Structure 1
């Protein structure tokens, strides 16, 4: 795995940022424009994803980074749940839901892979040290 110096260079953070931007645009659609509670919830979960990746990375410790990646993954799950509710309530259509669902599952899978890699790295480092 490449050594990253800044969280902005992490592909996982870049993906999280794309999710956040997409959600910001989604909440400005007519169906959600005046649903302030839903907007706040969707935006909160979406921006929590990239923010937790950034915060965890900045600690410069794998154990802290893993914890914040777990939180980011949890926020992605929260966002999936909120989008499902929005779809069932008729606030977004099935196509928008399906696209976001698939992308969020892909994102969560990538985070899970990174967590697994970092845990294995830490385990191997302890064995050598």
Structure 2
């Protein structure tokens, strides 16, 4: 196990960042950016995933970190739901949708797994062990 010293070391944060970047690419390549409400919602929810992971990590305690991870996981589900609207409005192909949907599902499972790990862990504070 490696010691995690900053949130940027967390695989879940890295994957959340990739998801956020992918959504931004779609917005720049399609009319999604002009669908202001949907774009604002999916940009906000995908950003919330990575931001809540970071904020929870910086709280330096497992209970608060788990709470923020729960919010990040919920935002991941919200992003997945919004992806259906992106698909239904023809901003992405079904193949592109499936890739993004799969990313959100993997990320959600990983966040949930990390929450379970922290609940059982004796480690507290700003250093965590990660696989």
CA distance in 2, matches of 1:30, 1:57: 34
CA distance in 1, matches of 2:33, 2:41: 13
Question: Is it true that 1:52 corresponds to 2:71 in the alignment?
Answer: no
CA distance in 2, matches of 1:38, 1:96: 17
Q: CA deviation at 1:117?
A: 0.5
Higher relative contact order (CA 8 A, sep 6+): 2
1:105 is matched with: 105
Q: CA deviation at 1:90?
A: 2.2
Q: Is the contact between residue 26 and residue 91 of structure 2 (CA under 8 Å) also seen in structure 1?
A: no
* Rg larger for: 1
Q: CA deviation at 1:47?
A: 0.5
* Number of aligned residues: 124
Listed one character per residue, the Cα deviations across residues 29-82 of structure 1 (whole Å, up to 9, x for unaligned) are 223131111111110011000000000000110011001001000000000000
Question: Is it true that 1:30 corresponds to 2:60 in the alignment?
Answer: no
Question: Structure 1-normalised TM-score?
Answer: 0.89
Question: Structure 2-normalised TM-score?
Answer: 0.88
Q: CA deviation at 1:92?
A: 2.0
Question: Is it true that 1:20 corresponds to 2:20 in the alignment?
Answer: yes
> What 5-or-longer segments of structure 2 have no aligned partner?
125-131
> What 5-or-longer segments of structure 1 have no aligned partner?
none
CA distance in 1, matches of 2:113, 2:65: 13
Q: Is the contact between residue 31 and residue 92 of structure 1 (CA under 8 Å) also seen in structure 2?
A: no
CA distance in 2, matches of 1:30, 1:116: 38
The structure with the largest strand share of the pair is 2
Segments of 4+ moved more than 6 angstroms: none
Q: Is the contact between residue 13 and residue 54 of structure 1 (CA under 8 Å) also seen in structure 2?
A: yes
Bigger mean CA offset, 89-98 vs 72-81: 89-98
